[in-house]
Amino acid sequence: MPAPPPPPPAPGSLGPLTVQGAPRDRGRHGRRPRPGAPHRRWERSVDDRLLGGVAGGIARRLGVDPTLVRIGFAVVTVSGGLGAALYLGAWLLMPLQGRDESIGTRVAKDRQGIVLSLAFLPALVILLVVGGALHAGVVTSAAWPVFLCAAGGVLLWRNVDADERDWLRHAAAPVLRLGVGTRTTRRLFVLRLAVGVGLVLAGVALLTVHHTYVSMPRIFGGVVLLLVGAVVLFGPWWLRLARDLMAERQARARAEERADMAARVHDSVLQTLALIQRASGDPQRVVQLARGQERELRAWLFDGEIPGALDAGVTTLAAGVRAIAAEVEAAHGIVVDVVAVGDCPLDDRLRALLDAAREATVNAAKWSGAGSVSLFAEVEDSRVSVFVRDRGRGFDLDEVAPDRRGIAQSIQARMLRHGGRATIRSTSGEGTEVELTVAREALR
Amino acid sequence: MSPPGAHDAPVPRVFLVDDHHLFRAGVRAELGDAVEVVGEADEVPAAVEMIIERTPDVVLLDVHLPGGGGQSVIDQVRQSAPDVRFLALSVSDAPEDVISVIRAGARGYVTKTISGTELVAAIRRVAGGDAVFSPRLAGFVLDAFAAMPSGVAPVSVDPELDQLSSREREVLRLIARGYTYKEVARELSISVKTVESHVSAVLRKLQLSTRHQLTYWATERRLV
């Protein structure tokens, strides 16, 4: 094989593409660490984690066995509970591997979230006042912890990483199920709620029975007045908060849509333009590429057919992976070896996974200089992974220019948006491997 | 072109069985002096006769053959010449063909797109008694040994044979991802020898397992 042309600066793509409202992680891969390289940062491990990846991260930073760190935490936890607090602190302060900011930093910057959690303050005041009036120490002493838990829960929910949010959602499933469950489960939940509230009220009544100097009607009258007052005073505020929150959610959805669109344009139009530049000596090929792209673009703009989307006939993951291989082999004249283990129907997440896998395969075909690419897909009970590997020239992730959207947008951001992750390992002269993982939708 | 690591082992004696004349010629040319080709055949009866007569170290066996397929060659040779080892070679993507040749006794499976150097290495490995797993075969095996569908009770004489250890799974996964044995060894911080023994163990399980799931999987794909 003749000597390859000088390596292009990036396996990403061509020129700069400015995306308005792109996800927050733009330009961060300049600092992205490579697995296997010595780690100078304190960060939570992605590959080696039982809970939050703290022990794995510490172990990697110190170069010791993660089991030792875990045992350390366990021992300190058992003898007084300090370990749990330390772990929680570390979880908040250590950024996840590949992320710039820790959860703590994000919480501190999350003004909207802080305002939102302050909305619990009136509830706290009411609890304290009612508790004080009833001389119920239980209520007063529980008020602060309840408030802190609620506020903290809101802030964490808004700022943890996507896969950990999945985990939280799973943990909170019994409560959240109210919104999505079937009619029977919802009815059961309402029943439980009614019984619970009844019991609590009975308890409060029992507690207050011997305070004979205050008559019961007066107490309840007071409570009702308080509640009404709170609603009158704080109602508008709560309403505005809810509206703001909705607006924010819509804005985020719009930004994600735009980012998705940018990724699509990159995968289709920009990739074709790159192919045309490389085939400039072959007018026929250029015409053919331009025609194909024109057709695709028209279909997108006027018929709503998403470019690069898989055929409607492709409904399972393994079929999708094979379709990608066939497409890349045809477009780039390179061998793509497919190995698929297990299979499952496609959903939105898995489609995004396939889109990212296609982009990684196209990158390997275009830039690696290798004659073949290995594509391995595995469906497990809890997750789906795809590995794209070539034995080409490899590249240095730190040197990928921030305006190259291929890796950042089409692969990493796309995976993050869908609650998955992308890990890229590349060694100059030995090749590149892209690992894409996404959790399977909870099967209930 | 002698591949690296050709120092101690004697040149393996190889027999080619493939119904495509051009392919046999191509393989012969690619193998060069690295092996001694002691004969070739293009159909089952001739192949069986000559293999028993010439007892090569390794038979390169096409999975698809007129007159019964590669599987029947292995079945007929085994009784009279049990020391002959088989390496299956195919363009076929069908898991059932590959698995049936392996279960008949082949020591490995590679696709015909393999490079000459890699093929020589694979022949040496099979001649040395080790197993050769291509990424595709590794994928098939992972699939076949995947979690049992619920409700299917394991019916087995030896449960050990019916599942892969997590290490074996790890090794297979890396092979399926396109790693060579050497790269697998480096990735898992173990020796190449250990990788080879894991792969051999998997091959043994594949050949001996009476696992319900395996037969279920096979019948699912019109096998057995």
pLDDT-derived band of residue A182, with 50, 70 and 90 as boundaries?
A: low
Q: How far apart are CA A357 and CA B44, in angstroms?
A: 43
Q: What are phi and psi of A369, to 5 degrees?
A: 80, 0
Q: Tell me: pLDDT of B211 over 50.
A: yes
Search chain B and give the residue with CA nearest A36. Answer: B187
Cβ within 8 Å, pair B177-A337: no
Tokens of B197: 């023994």
Q: Does B147 touch chain A (CB under 8 A)?
A: yes
Contact A376 B136 (CB under 8 A): no
For residue A444, pLDDT over 90 is answered with no
User: Residues A413, A255: contact at Cβ < 8 Å?
Assistant: no
Q: How far is B126 from chain A (nearest CA, A)?
A: 23
For A182-194, b/e burial (b = at least 16 CB within 10 A) is eeeeeeeeeeeee
A161: which 2 tokens?
Answer: 């990483």
pLDDT tops 60 at residue B218 = no
As a whole number, the mean pLDDT across chain B is 80
Residue whose token pair is 């196209």: A362
Nearest neighbour of A340 by CB, restricted to B139, B147, B178: B139
- pLDDT tens column, A265-302: 877 788 788 778 877 788 887 887 888 788 778 877 77
Q: What's the pTM? A: 0.59
Interchain contact A65–B (C-beta under 8 A): no
Maximum CA pair distance of chain A? 99
Question: What torsion do the CA atoms of A96, A97, A99, A101 make, to the nearest 10 degrees?
Answer: 50
pLDDT digits (tens, 9 = 90+) for A10-60: 443 333 333 333 333 333 343 444 444 445 678 888 777 777 788 888 888
Helices B135-144 and B212-220 pack at an angle, to 10 degrees, of 110
How does residue A369 score in pLDDT terms, banded at 50, 70 and 90? confident
- B176 chain-A contacts, CB cut-off 8 A: 339, 341, 376, 378
ipTM given for this complex: 0.74
Per-chain mean pLDDT for chain A: 75
Q: Rounded to whole angstroms, how far apart are CA atoms A272 and A194?
A: 61
The answer to whether A326 faces chain B, any CB pair under 8 Å, is: no
Q: Give the DSSP letter string of A38-57.
A: ---S--B-SSS-SSSSHHHH
Q: Please indicate whether, in this complex, the C-beta atoms of A339 and B173 are within 8 angstroms of each other.
A: no
CB A125 within 8 A of CB A227: no
**Nearest CB to B146 within list A335, A342, A389:** A342
> Is A310 or A74 the better-scoring residue by pLDDT?
A74
pLDDT at position A386: 94
Q: Which residue has the higher pLDDT, B3 or A134?
A: A134
CB contacts, 8 Å: B113 with chain A: 335
Q: Is any Cβ of chain B less than 8 angstroms from the Cβ of A164?
A: no
Mean pLDDT confidence for B157-176: 80
Query: Residue A214 above 60 pLDDT?
Result: no
Average pLDDT value for residue range A104-129: 80
Chosen from B133, B177, B213 to mutate, greatest number of chain A CBs within 10 A: B177
Share of chain B above pLDDT 90, in %: 22
| Max mean pLDDT range (A7-21, A222-236, B103-117, B140-154) | B103-117
**Cβ–Cβ gap A339/B113 under 8 Å:** no
Confidence of residue A371 (pLDDT cuts 50, 70, 90): confident
What is the structure's pLDDT at A28? Answer: 38
Say if the Cβ atoms of B139 and A335 lie within 8 Å.
Answer: no
Smallest CA–CA distance, residue A375 to chain B, in Å, is: 7
Query: Residue length, chain B?
Result: 224
Q: What is the pLDDT of residue A141?
A: 74
CB of B223 within 8 Å of a chain A CB? The answer is: no
* Cβ atoms of A36 and A427 closer than 8 Å: no
Measure Cα distances from A57 to A94, A439, B38 in Å.
Answer: 9, 21, 57
- The reported pLDDT for the residue numbered A108 is 83
The CA distances from residue B133 to B77, B172, B184, in Å, are: 22, 8, 12
Instruction: Please report the residues numbered 421 through 440 in chain A whose beta carbons come closer than 8 angstroms to any beta carbon of chain B.
Output: 433
Q: What is the pLDDT of residue B123?
A: 92
Say whether A374 and B138 touch across the interface (CB within 8 A): no
A212: Cβ–Cβ under 8 A, 6 or more apart, which residues?
none
Q: Which residue has the higher pLDDT, A219 or A147?
A: A147
Cβ–Cβ gap B139/A339 under 8 Å: yes
Q: Which of B135, B142, B146 sits opposite A337 (nearest CB)?
A: B135
Q: Could you tell me which residue, A12 or A217, shows the higher pLDDT? A: A217
CB pairs under 8 A between A and B: 38
> Residue A15: its pLDDT value, please?
35
